[in-house]
Amino acid sequence: MTGLSFADQKFGQRVIGNKITSGYALPEGWEPTLSNEPTWKMGGSEEKTTWALIVMEPDTSLNLKPSGCSNHTYIQMFKKTEELVESLQAQSAESLQDLMGLSAKSAKGHADRFQSFHKLPPKQAALIFGGDALRAADFSSSDEKYAETHLRFVSGLYGVLRPYDDVKPVRDVPLGAKLATKKGKTVLEFWGDAIIKQLVKDATGTAGRKVLLVLLVSEEYEKAVPLDALPKEIKAIQVLFQGGPEADTRKARGLLGRHLIRKRVCLVNDFQEFEHEDWKMDQFKSRGSKVVFTWVGDPVEGSKKEKKGEKDSGDKARKGDRKEKEKGKGRKASASR
């Protein structure tokens, strides 16, 4: 593998960490990392000293539409991503299907993409991974600046991503996926404590201030952020959406993330301002380090959505099986001739 270049290969540019080597300037139309100055909400004394870092996970669907955003930054954990991609390049399409939970067709496409990973066109993380609920493409310029400092994605492929870090058009690798590397048997073991260390580094960039670390992630991704590893100036809040369909739960995380960014929320009490007809904040359960929203939507509709998701997955699997059988019959017929 020749390296993960996010710059213009025609001029021999290569990105190391957050810098382009070989003395070349950033490509035309690209900007360096946005300001990392704190942008906490002004108001009461606690608001002046509390700084929020919102942690999300990549959406399972990719937005591959061309980006109209001019802000570009570069992945921070470059070397580890390169090492992980090399391990993924050694996997067959069948292995990737199991490892990433893909259909046979998508697994074949991802196997091809990993082989040419460094040549794939990049796009900003929040725009490709953010999902329809976060709608990062609709952020105002001030929202973008705020998000750059206050939003992070925990990723199995990239470790920790800032919203405008350029990434490649491939699905994120699940943190719980089984992948043998020099570091262990799973993707989570590969990253070890690197993810939590990077989050702490990003969160404590404003020395002397309190940090509210808002975890808008599933249980799988939460494992990469052990709360006992956080310094005392960082208070972690686990946001839980309970009782709703899985698809609605994922969407709710994105909607709340958008709300926190656009409203510049940095106090736990302000979570009550998030309103949605299907979710209600549970004041009794929301204690200590947890904020809990319970499903108040139509249980019948929720059940239908779950069953539809199961049916769609089953239909896709059956179609894949039929295609494989047809291919097998074709091979047998050819052999008999």
pLDDT digits (tens, 9 = 90+) for 23-81: 333 334 434 444 434 333 333 445 456 789 999 999 999 999 988 898 999 999 989 99
Dihedral (CA of 76, 77, 83, 86) sign: negative
**Pairing relation of β-strands 151-155 and 159-161?**
antiparallel
DSSP conformational letter for 183: T
Is the pLDDT at 135 greater than 90, yes or no? yes
DSSP state of 165: B
Structure-block tokens of residue 253: 């995380």
- Grade residue 145 by pLDDT with cuts at 50, 70 and 90: very high
- Give the mean pLDDT of the chain: 81
Query: pLDDT tens, 210-263?
Result: 899 999 999 999 999 999 999 988 999 999 999 999 999 999 999 999 999 999
- Pairwise CA distance, residues 231 & 211, whole Å: 10
pLDDT at 206 (0 to 100): 58
Instruction: Quote the CA–CA distance of 251 and 254 in Å, as a whole number.
Output: 5
In one-letter notation, the amino acid at residue 50 is T
User: Residue 205's pLDDT is what?
Assistant: 72
Q: Where are the domains of the chain?
A: 51-81+125-295
| pLDDT value for 304 | 53
pLDDT confidence bin for 286, thresholds 50/70/90: very high
Helix axes 141-150, 246-263, angle to 10 degrees: 110
Is the separation of the CB atoms in 134 and 58 below 8 Å? Answer: no
Tell me the C-alpha distance between 215 and 236, whole Å: 7
Residue 30, judged by CB atoms within 10 A of its CB (0-12, 13-18, 19+), counts as: middle
Which of 151-165, 169-183, 253-267, 292-306 is the least confident region?
292-306
Strand-pair partners of 152: 55
3-state SS string over 233-301? CEEEEEEEEECCCHHHHHHHHHHHHHHHHHHCCCCHHHHHHCCECCEEECCCCCCCCEEEEEECCCHHH
CB-CB contact of 199 with 152 (8 Å): yes
Q: What percent of the chain has pLDDT over 90?
A: 62
User: What is the enclosing helix (H) or strand (E) of 117?
Assistant: none
Q: How far is CA 108 from CA 4, 34, 80, 123, 146, in A?
A: 21, 37, 24, 22, 38
Specify the 3-state DSSP secondary structure of 159: strand
Residues 53/261, Cβ–Cβ less than 8 Å: no
Taking the complete model, does pTM exceed 0.85, yes or no?
no
Q: Which residue has the higher pLDDT, 41 or 307?
A: 307
CA distances from 207 to 119, 203, 211, 330 (A): 39, 9, 10, 66
* Residue 129: φ, ψ to 5°: -105, -15
What's residue 269's pLDDT? 84
CA atoms within 13 A on the CB side of 53: 29
pLDDT at 305: 53
Find residue 290's DSSP bridge partners: 238
